[in-house]
Amino acid sequence: GADALRIFQERADEIGCVLLDLTMPLMDGAATFEALRQIRPQVKVILSSGYDQREALGRFAGPPPAGFIQKPYTFEALRVALQRLLEGETKAQ
């Protein structure tokens, strides 16, 4: 989490979305997500977890991540999640 935040802070303008795991050592996905939102409030995040979507997203206070993908996932499932996220961004503009 801390490494991701450092990179995001340095390159936030170059990063279109973040694939974030819920369970990470030292700084979990929920804490990392909140810190990312402090840097860029409208950051687009796809949460990845072995927990089901309801349980995983229930750990977030405030607006949840924009997308969810349950582990284990295939490349095709990741492609679809990214496409949905980016198409939603295009429709909102």
Closest CA to 71 of 1, 14, 19: 19
H or E segment to which residue 20 belongs: strand 18-21
Q: Which pTM was predicted? A: 0.86
Contact 22, 49 (CB under 8 A): yes
pLDDT (tens digit per residue) in 30-67? 999 999 999 999 999 999 999 999 999 988 888 889 99
Q: Which amino acid is at 1?
A: G
Q: pLDDT tier at 89 (50, 70, 90 boundaries)?
A: low
